């Protein structure tokens, strides 16, 4: 078998990432050696592979669904927004510069198609099947000429295309029809059919519409996936966290101790890798919320300043909104504060930044004895260490180089009293360390909170991925899906007018 499939969507957030992960997990359970692929990702949630390459976290989770190690080939182009109109371009896991949207779509993107197709071909040579995820909608006619992630990659690699639509939003039939009708004939020939996502109710009521859609487009529907809580994977954008509020969503596990712990995460601009707090939210009795006002810090037992793609901008935002003063008061009172990556940097004494913001010398909050200098080369590593007597694994993604001038060592950062800072993302996914850290926080906060002894974050993620595989297995036509992956789009699919504008 040397199969492939592109999962496209009628819109952003139609469920492409979830469906791709579900198909991957279903296939691997059938004994298929499968890999995920997304040609171009725009996300501030990224991950570091074992070889030191930076890719989107969604593709790292999809690789976990496939039970394989993620590699740069699975996400050859990553765009990391740095403002309203510019992004850092990461090519095959390494940053190659900043670019405006106009500059990228004005020629650079089109030139990357060769790299994308070479990466996909290499994956297809090593795996039985590659399940690709599109981005946004394939019918973005203003961008079709430079498209390297939807129909551009489908046509370049001869992949069949499955279009996912979110029926919970409404208008799914119009979205399916309109998506096909706005594609050029050569693109339409690869669109095999549709998959309805997030359906609530009796499927028999939907079937007449699916039959009419087949009559109008000549394309079948490969399944109707029911609405299920807690099926997200690591998000690309927005403030929805993959496991926060979704793990144990059906049956909420009560706290083990007498109290809960309240965690306030400062929703800084250009927040990156906010999935760091997922592991906290997976603990019974830990309540995680994102905040943007100083009064919301008052009842928090732990305040987290997360990673950000704009450390200086986040620092200014904290000061403008009064959150900086609120954090300083907490530190003076000996109440727990954790800074991660950019959040760690801004807790320090000062920052020299001629790379990210180009602001030069900027005074930090002065809450940790740390000085930060931004280097042009990005640090991309997967460190392993020890803290609070427990083994810890993490990953680092940053331009800022920290000079630690005092305090107690903490994950290559430092700790002063109950103020903690580290560049390590993902450290809280190490169960033993997370539980030890929460015990420290609870003691400092005077809470009778006890971490659950049996919470395994890795097991919860596996559970979640298995649920995605179950969803495909139980609610999609897997025989037809198998034929599509193995043999490509059916021949003779009709053209739906008017097609793409000239």
3-state secondary structure 50-63: CCCCEEEHHHHHHH
pLDDT computed for residue 333 by the predictor: 94
Give CA–CA dist 94/78, Å, rounded.
9
pLDDT computed for residue 356 by the predictor: 85
The pairing of strands 46-48 and 54-56 is antiparallel
Per DSSP, the three-state class of 244 is coil
pLDDT computed for residue 245 by the predictor: 42
Per DSSP, the three-state class of 349 is coil
Q: Which residues pair with 303 in a beta bridge?
A: 264, 337
pLDDT computed for residue 256 by the predictor: 83
Asked whether the beta carbons of 433 and 410 are under 8 A apart, the reply is no
- For the chain, give percent helix, strand, coil, nearest 5: 35, 30, 35
pLDDT computed for residue 250 by the predictor: 37
Give CA–CA dist 5/454, Å, rounded.
38
Phi, psi of 461 (to 5 degrees): -65, -40
Give CA–CA dist 451/261, Å, rounded.
10
Q: Which residues pair with 353 in a beta bridge?
A: 360
The pairing of strands 350-353 and 384-387 is unpaired
Nearest Cα to 177, choosing from 221, 233, 122, 216? 216
- Catalytic residue, chosen from 66, 266, 341, 414, is 341
- Catalytic residue, chosen from 398, 399, 423, 425, is 425
Digit-by-digit pLDDT tens for the chain (502 residues) are 789 999 999 998 899 999 999 999 999 999 999 999 999 998 888 999 999 999 999 999 999 999 999 999 999 999 998 876 788 899 999 998 887 766 665 566 768 899 999 999 999 999 999 999 999 999 999 988 889 999 999 999 999 999 999 999 989 999 999 999 999 999 999 999 999 999 998 999 999 999 999 999 999 999 999 998 766 665 555 444 444 444 444 345 778 888 999 999 999 999 988 889 999 988 999 999 999 999 999 999 999 999 999 999 999 999 999 999 999 999 999 999 999 999 999 999 999 999 888 889 999 999 999 999 999 999 999 999 999 999 999 999 999 999 999 999 999 999 999 999 999 999 999 999 999 999 999 999 999 999 998 899 999 999 999 999 999 999 999 999 999 999 999 999 999 999 998 7
Asked whether the beta carbons of 163 and 194 are under 8 A apart, the reply is yes
Nearest Cα to 394, choosing from 443, 336, 344, 355? 344
266 belongs to the catalytic site: no
What tokens appear for 482 in the block?
């198998």
341 belongs to the catalytic site: yes
Tokens 């704009």 found at: 310
């Amino acid at each position: 078998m040397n199969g492939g499939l592109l999962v496209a969507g009628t819109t952003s957030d139609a469920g492409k990432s979830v469906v791709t992960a579900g198909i991957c997990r279903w296939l691997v359970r059938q004994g298929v050696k499968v890999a995920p692929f997304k040609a171009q990702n725009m996300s501030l949630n990224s991950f570091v592979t074992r070889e030191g390459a930076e890719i989107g976290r969604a593709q790292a989770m999809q690789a976990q669904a496939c039970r394989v190690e993620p590699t740069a080939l699975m996400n050859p182009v990553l765009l990391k927004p740095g403002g309203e109109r510019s992004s850092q371009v990461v090519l095959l896991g390494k940053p190659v510069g900043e670019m405006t949207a106009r500059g990228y779509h004005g020629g650079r993107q089109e030139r990357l198609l060769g790299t994308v197709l070479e990466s996909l071909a290499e994956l297809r040579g090593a795996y039985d099947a590659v399940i690709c995820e599109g981005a946004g909608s394939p019918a973005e006619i203003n961008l079709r000429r430079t498209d390297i992630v939807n129909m551009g990659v489908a046509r370049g690699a001869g992949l069949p295309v499955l279009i996912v639509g979110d029926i919970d939003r409404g208008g799914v039939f119009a979205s399916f029809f309109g998506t096909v009708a706005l594609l050029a004939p050569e693109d339409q020939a690869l669109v095999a059919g549709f998959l309805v996502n997030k359906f609530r109710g009796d499927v028999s009521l939907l079937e007449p519409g699916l039959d009419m859609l087949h009559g109008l487009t000549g394309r079948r529907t490969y399944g109707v996936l029911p609405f299920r809580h807690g099926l997200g994977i690591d998000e690309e954008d927005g403030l929805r966290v993959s496991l926060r509020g979704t793990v144990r969503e059906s049956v909420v596990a009560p706290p083990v101790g007498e109290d809960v712990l309240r965690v306030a995460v400062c929703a800084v601009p250009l927040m990156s890798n906010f999935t760091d707090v997922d592991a906290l939210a997976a603990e019974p009795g830990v309540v995680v919320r994102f905040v943007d006002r100083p009064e919301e810090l008052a009842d928090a037992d732990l305040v987290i300043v997360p990673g950000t793609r704009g450390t200086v901008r986040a620092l200014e935002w904290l000061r403008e909104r009064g959150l900086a003063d609120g954090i300083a008061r907490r530190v003076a009172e000996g109440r727990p504060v954790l800074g991660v990556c950019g959040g760690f940097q801004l807790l320090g004494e000062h920052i020299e930044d001629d790379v990210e913001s180009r602001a030069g010398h900027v005074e930090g909050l002065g809450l940790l004895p740390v000085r930060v200098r931004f280097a042009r080369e990005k640090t991309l590593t997967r460190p392993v260490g020890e803290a609070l007597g427990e083994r810890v694994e993490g990953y680092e993604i940053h331009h800022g180089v920290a000079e630690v001038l005092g305090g107690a060592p903490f994950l290559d950062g430092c700790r002063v009293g109950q103020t903690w800072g580290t560049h390590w993302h993902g450290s809280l996914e190490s169960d033993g360390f997370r539980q030890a850290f929460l015990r420290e926080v609870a003691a400092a906060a005077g809470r009778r909170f006890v971490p659950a002894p049996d919470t395994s974050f890795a097991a919860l993620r596996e559970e979640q991925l298995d649920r995605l595989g179950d969803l495909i297995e139980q609610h999609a036509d897997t025989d037809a899906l198998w034929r599509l992956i193995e043999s490509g789009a059916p021949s003779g699919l009709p053209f739906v007018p008017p097609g793409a504008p000239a």
